[in-house]
Amino acid sequence: MIEAHELTKHYGDKTAVDKITFTIAPGTVTGFLGPNGAGKSTTMRMIVGLDRPTSGTVTVNGKPYAKHRSPLTEVGVLLDAKAVHTGRSARSHLRTMAATHGISTRRVDEVIEMTGLAGVAGKRVGGFSLGMGQRLGIAAAMLGDPRTLILDEPVNGLDPEGVKWVRHLVRDLAADGRTVFLSSHLMSEMSQTADHLLVIGKGRIITSGPVQAVIDSVSGTAVRVRSPQASRLADLVRAEGATVSGEDGVLELRGLTTEQVGETAAAHGIVLHELSPQRASLEEAYMSLTQDAVEFHSEDTHHTTQEAETR
C-alpha cells in the first residue's frame, strides 16, 4: 500500500509535483501515466526516500520508506536500470546487496533464475544490454521478496518476450496480494498489464481509477449497429436520446448502451446483423486526457519535412 497526501516537490522555481493525494492498493497493478516531465519519476523517488518532499507526506506499507527497518523486504524498487555501472558480475552485485540486508545467497540464485539471468549471471554488468540491465534491476527489486514494488519503465529496452515476461510477473505479484506501481509510456502494454491507472500531467493528478473507467470517462462507449432497417432504428433511438451517425445500414450510436439498443430493436421487430460496443483504446483516451499537459510537443512531421526541403 502506498499513500500520498498533498505530496509536493519544488526544484527551485519549478513545481515538479503539486499537492498530489493518492492511494495505491495492494492486490492490484497500478499504472502510472503521464507525459515526459509530468513528475512520475520525482513521485517515485519521493516514495522511496531518494527525494525529500517540499511538503506533504508519503508512506509505504504504513510508514515513510526511511522508517522501515528492512526496506528491501518491504519495497522493491527499479528506478534507473542504467544506474548500475559496475565491473562486477550480476551475481556478485546481487550478493553484495543481499549481504547488506541479511538476505540469503539462495534468494540471490532464485531471483537470478526468476529473471532469466542464469546464463549471464557471471558476466560483468558493465557489458550488459539495456534489456539485461532491466532484468537485473527487476532481480534487485525482487531480492527482499517485498510486499510493494515500484517500477519506473520496467519494460524499457526489453524485447517482446521480455515485455510479456514482465506483464506476467507483475500480474502474478499482484495476484499474490502485493502492491505493484509501475510507469510506462507504452499504452497498449499498460492496458494489458494494469488494473488501475493514475494519470498525472504537469505535477497534478489528471485522473485515476480502473483502466476501463478511465477510458470510458473520456470517450464514453459508442454502439455499432448493422441492420437492414437501420434508418427506422435510427429514428427510434434518436427519440430515446441517442446521437446517431453512420450510413449504408451501419450506425454508430452514442448515449445508449448496447442493451438498450438491442431491447428497442426487439420491441419493434427490427432485425440486427451486428450490435457491438465500440471502446476507445487507452492510447486514444490518454492522448485526449493529457493533451493540455504535454510540455514537449513534437513538431508536425509534415511541417518539419517542408522546412527541411526549403533549407
Per CB under 6 A, residues contacting ligand ATP are 11, 14, 16, 34, 36-42
Query: What's CA 250's distance to the chain center, in Å?
Result: 35
Report the residue number, 26 or 37, with the smaller CB distance to ligand ATP. 37
Distance CA 285, CA 280 (A): 7
Q: Which helix (H) or strand (E) holds 252?
A: strand 250-254
Pick 79 or 97: Cβ nearer ligand ATP:
79
Residue closer to ligand ATP (CB basis): 34 or 131: 34
Rounded least distance, CB 37 to ligand ATP, Å: 4
Q: How far is the CB of 99 from ligand ATP (least distance, A)?
A: 31
Give whichever of 116 and 157 is closer to ligand ATP, judged by the CB atom. Answer: 157
Of 58 and 253, nearer to ligand ATP (C-beta) is 58
> 254: left (phi > 0), else alpha (psi -120 to 50), else beta?
beta
CA end-to-end distance (rounded Å), the chain? 55
The backbone torsions φ and ψ at residue 110, rounded to the nearest 5 degrees and listed phi first, read -60, -50
In the bound complex, what is the minimum distance in angstroms from residue 57's beta carbon to ligand ATP?
A: 18
How near is the Cβ of 151 to ligand ATP at its closest, in Å? 13
CB of 12 to ligand ATP, least distance (A): 7
- How many whole angstroms separate alpha carbon 80 and alpha carbon 62? 25
- Cell 504504513 appears where? 62
Instruction: Report the C-alpha gap between 36 and 202 in whole angstroms.
Output: 9
